[in-house]
Amino acid sequence: MIKYHYMIDIETMGVAVTAPILSIGAVKFDPDMFWDATPLEGFSVNVDLETCTYGGGIIEPGTLKWWLMPERAAAREELLKGHGVDLRDALDGLKEWMGDGGPIWANSPSFDLAILARAFRVMNTQAPWTHRTERDYRTVFCMAPTKYIEMAKEAIGISFPNLTPHSARDDAEWQVRMLVYLTGMMAVDIK
């Protein structure tokens, strides 16, 4: 039986599968944790943008403008902390951190995981997941009753006030907290 699942989030310079990756964030979680305030084990790396364009990554002007909006200031600051690593090193680090892996969630797999899978292919290495282990956070979120979404947002905002939107690691944690809370509440409703 698989105990741990993984939530992945990336920040990019585009929305197509060829988008250059700015950062990769992930958290490992137990889907049965329901509402546990313990910090989640995470992975976070900023990527050197130049190394993402070598493999055909295409910066999209609309996304660049989006990143330059004033409300993205905190996220831009996160991206500029330290020196970004080579894309290959970032992908190798993610594989090592995930080990044997498990189910992998994203918001949605057709964005985050598709862009990452392409990056793994460009770097001639295998992604640490298969199509059989992909899970879609957005589907669960969209199926949840509005009252549960509002309750979850309030609870998470109070318990974790310092999560930065559009910081890949923080977004992954937010998504895990929402996923576990919403599935827990919906399971209680079913009983």
Cα–Cα distance, 181 to 149 (Å, whole number): 9
Cα–Cα distance, 172 to 9 (Å, whole number): 5
pLDDT in tens, 101-159: 899 999 999 999 999 999 999 999 999 999 999 999 999 999 999 998 998 888 887 77
189: Cβ contacts below 8 Å, ≥ 6 apart: 145
Q: What is the CATH number of domain 5-190?
A: 3.30.420.10
Q: Give the pLDDT of residue 158.
A: 74
pLDDT in tens, 31-72: 877 666 666 789 999 999 999 888 889 999 999 999 999 999
Nearest residue to 86 (alpha-carbon basis) of 32, 141, 39, 48: 48
**Do β-strands 41-46 and 134-136 pair in parallel, antiparallel, or remain unpaired?**
unpaired
Structure tokens at 115: 């862009």
